[in-house]
Amino acid sequence: MENVENVIVTKNLTKVYQMGVVRVHALKEINLTVQRGEFVAIMGASGSGKSTLMNMLGCLDQPTSGDYFLDGKNVNSLDKNEYAEIRNQKIGFVFQGFNLLARTTALENVELPLMYDRYNRIKEPHKAAKSALERVGLTDRMNHLPNQLSGGQQQRVAIARALVTQPSILMADEPTGNLDSLNSIEIFSLFQTLNQEGITIVMVTHERDFADYATRIVEMRDGHIRRDWIIQNRRNAQADLVQYKANGSATEEIYEQN
């Protein structure tokens, strides 16, 4: 039995893609443990395997070999339907491209995961969706369609959708990759707040500055974990935001001042 305080434990997690006759080792025996309450940033150049790892952890893709324990449960032995159930109940996933349903209001988008919950764990889906949107600060945008919202607002709808099922872990694959600096800092501020409230977060980013908002950095290269360390001087997104707004200046200056 794995320690339940470890939300994620991987053992020799490996992913091999067959591209024609060439076998590409995207992940090579990854051993990673994430404890409850951590805020982990996975970094690395493109092609380092960070997104592949993220898809494995998010149960969007299945590893070639190795074990993955989520909340103490080995998910590799599960069938397709159980995988869907894990995605629905244990994981909240936030994508770089938001991935909201077009022509569907913010509120309906947030309610969507609850529709696929066979056990109706959340008793009042409508209410839950509203409070999730309130939590990300979009009380007044609930009935807007995605194309009526800014990028930052769309991403916050996506975060609300990820949170509405009360998952064990929030996963984000380059959540600010499509956003400008101000919106990015706002998203990280939200992440830090959520993390302080007890939500475990694993995110992928390729910007070192943004990784510093996390509590721990896992650096990947060529399918391996190259470095894994706890951040000593953690940045405070809220403080950066205040400063950014006060100066009206570019983010680089803020980073320089720190």
Partner 1 sequence: MNRINNLIKVALKSIAKNRMRSLLTSLGIIIGVSAVIVMVAVGQGSQAKIEEQVASLGTNLIVIFPGISKSGGVSQGAGSFNRFTLKDAEKIAEQATLVKDVSPIVRSGGQVIGGGTNWNTTINGVSPQYFDLREWGLEYGEIFTERDVQVCKKVAILGKTIADELFPGQDPTGETIRIRNTPFIVIGVLKEKGKNAMGSDQDDIIFAPSTTVLYRLKGRQFIDMINAGAVSTDKMDAAQAEIRSILREAHKLDEGDDDDFTITNQTEITDMASETSRTMTLLLGAVAGVSLIVGGIGIMNIMLVSVTERTREIGIRLSIGARANDILVQFLSEAVVLSLFGGIIGILLALLISGILNNFTELRTVIKPFIVILAFAFSGSVGIFFGFYPARKAANLNPIDALRYE
d(CA 39, CA 205): 12
Q: Which is nearer to partner 1, 204 or 211 (CB)?
A: 204
d(CA 217, CA 225): 10
CB of 162 to partner 1, least distance (A): 8
CB of 196 to partner 1, least distance (A): 25
Rule CB under 8 A: which residues touch partner 1? 55, 58, 60-61, 80-81, 84-85, 87-89, 93, 95, 99-101, 103, 112-113, 115-118, 120, 161, 165
Amino acid symbol at 199: I
Q: Which is nearer to partner 1, 56 or 185 (CB)?
A: 56
Write down how long the chain is.
258
Give the 3-state secondary structure of 42-108: EEECCCCCHHHHHHHHCCCCCCCEEEEEECCEEHHHCCHHHHHHHHHHCEEEECCCCCCCCCCCHHH
Question: Which helix or strand (DSSP H or E) is residue 6 part of?
Answer: strand 6-19
Residue partners of 195: CB distance under 8 A and separation at least 6 = 37, 39, 201, 215
DSSP 250: -
CB of 61 to partner 1, least distance (A): 5
Q: Which is nearer to partner 1, 30 or 94 (CB)?
A: 94
Q: Which is nearer to partner 1, 87 or 235 (CB)?
A: 87
Chain centroid, CA 154 distance in Å: 15
CB of 88 to partner 1, least distance (A): 2
d(CA 91, CA 161): 11
CB of 34 to partner 1, least distance (A): 20
CB of 242 to partner 1, least distance (A): 34
Q: Which is nearer to partner 1, 113 or 175 (CB)?
A: 113
Q: Which is nearer to partner 1, 89 or 195 (CB)?
A: 89
